[in-house]
Amino acid sequence: MPVTEAQARRALRHADIPWDSEVDDPRDPSFVVHDHLGLLGGLAVAFAVGRYNLRRAEDFLADLGLGARRALGLGRESPCDTTLYRLLAEQKPIGFEETVFAQVKDFVARKVVKNDRLALGVLSFDGKGTWSRADGEKVDGARQSSYDADGSSLQTFGALRAALTSSSVCPCVGQKSIGSKEGEATAFRELLPRICEELGGQFKIVTGDAGLCARENAALVTGLGRWYLFGLKGNQPHLYSLATDHRHYSVGGGPLARTVERYRGHVIERELYAREVAGEPAADIEDAQQLWYVCQATYDHAGECIAAEQRYFVTSIPVGVLSRAEELALVRMHWSIENGCHWTMDVMLGEDDSQPCQASRASIETVSWLRIIGYNALSAWRQQAPRRDRKPIAWKRAMETLRDALLLSQVEHYQAIERIT
């Protein structure tokens, strides 16, 4: 498919990353050849189109059109993979969070990101592994564990990430790295207030899985003027026991909401049941209003049930704020961070398979932030691309078209962007 002029202009706007002033250049000025932010932006865009190996990133940057080179701040001479590695090895992740905030705010201002799935806005949190290495030189701050019968050492870093799942773009809006002696609950309490301060107008509901369900976290969400939806499991035994007592759900009266969809040759049916717990002493978590029970059944082509799953949730959303259909949709919406953001970064952008720089915790975090910036640019590009059968184009196709638009963009396209902005 040939790239149109409008697509080339849009690609350049996605490549023009609003870097924060705190993103510092760690290089010795005596040996600087390439623009600092140009190199970082080039890496973020290379990650966005699947060039997550530094050698492949070098080739991609060498092939960029002149318009894209100017938008990124790259000169005519392309950097080699050694130059890219040395920068990542020295770069500190300071200012990258603010850059992601600015990137998402720009998408919101241009109405690329909007709450088209649920008008109230939903911010979802989920943990994810961002780096691992077996044996080798140790990285300070990484978790150390044994992973096989021989007791071989495994080092890992994780992150708690947040995504605006009420938007079809599902941009990642922040993350908190998690190393040794750190946990998701602590990261949540540090990350949520920062996101509220920067992007609080974009969401009213905060969702998290059972690992984040705690009184302190619920009180934090409520204190920030939001509603929470947390999964329930055995880590909250009293509340979980209350939620799993089906006698209070009027199951025999039928579900409050129900959806049926086809997926990979199977039929998946989901049903929602709810009970009010507002004011009940037994619901010993801040401002709890409802318990939800969601039953999911999967049927084969013959109509036989081949899998059944039951999930439980506690929420501070008062009855009547959302329709029952919206409540069931909200449960599924939370998992967009896993099925959309995390899956894309793992499978399409190679986060699990490729670690271009493992010099230190700082370099690992820097790469993680650059991948988030690249993912956001790619997801926004995909959302604006022409649809087929009213569905977004495939991620691989989105990566191909974004790459083509950047490779073919010329000076006049960049000048047009300058006039628009």
In this prediction, residue 146 carries a pLDDT of 67
Q: What is the pLDDT of residue 52?
A: 87
**Residue 80, both tokens:** 């080699």
pLDDT of residue 391: 86
Q: Can you give the pLDDT at residue 99?
A: 98
Beta-bridge partner residues of 274: 292
Predicted pLDDT at 409: 67
Residue with the two structure tokens 């967009």:
336
Task: Please indicate, yes or no, whether the overall pTM of this predicted structure exceeds 0.75.
Answer: yes
Rounded to whole angstroms, the Cα distance separating 372 from 96 reads 10
Residues whose CB is less than 8 angstroms from the CB of residue 167 and which lie 6 or more positions away in sequence, other chains included: 113, 114, 115, 116, 117
Give the distance, in angstroms, between the CA of residue 290 and the centroid of all CA atoms in the same chain.
27
d(CA 273, CA 268): 17
For 54, phi and psi rounded to 5 degrees?
A: -65, -30
Residue 299, burial from CB neighbour count under 10 angstroms (0-12, 13-18, 19+): middle
Q: What's the pLDDT at 339?
A: 87
Polymer length in residues for the chain: 421
DSSP string, 324-384: HHHHHHHHHHHTHIIIIIIHIIIIIS-TTT--S--S-HHHHHHHHHHHHHHHHHHHHHHHH
CA distance 176 to 340: 19
Return the pLDDT at 1: 53
In order along its 421 residues, the chain shows pLDDT tens digits of: 566 777 777 888 878 899 999 999 999 888 788 899 999 999 999 999 999 899 999 999 998 877 788 778 887 788 999 999 999 999 999 999 999 999 999 999 999 999 999 999 999 999 998 888 887 778 888 888 766 556 677 888 999 999 999 999 999 999 999 988 788 999 999 999 999 999 999 999 999 999 999 999 999 999 999 999 999 998 888 889 989 988 888 766 789 999 998 877 889 999 999 999 988 876 778 899 999 999 999 998 888 898 999 999 999 999 999 999 999 999 999 988 998 899 999 999 988 888 899 889 999 999 999 999 999 999 999 999 888 778 899 999 999 999 988 887 654 444 444 444 4
Residue 100 has a pLDDT of: 98
Which tokens belong to 167?
A: 């938007």
Contacts 24+ apart (CB under 8 A), 247-252: 248/275, 248/291, 249/273, 249/274, 249/275, 249/293
Q: How far is 110 from 120, CA to CA, in rounded Å?
A: 19
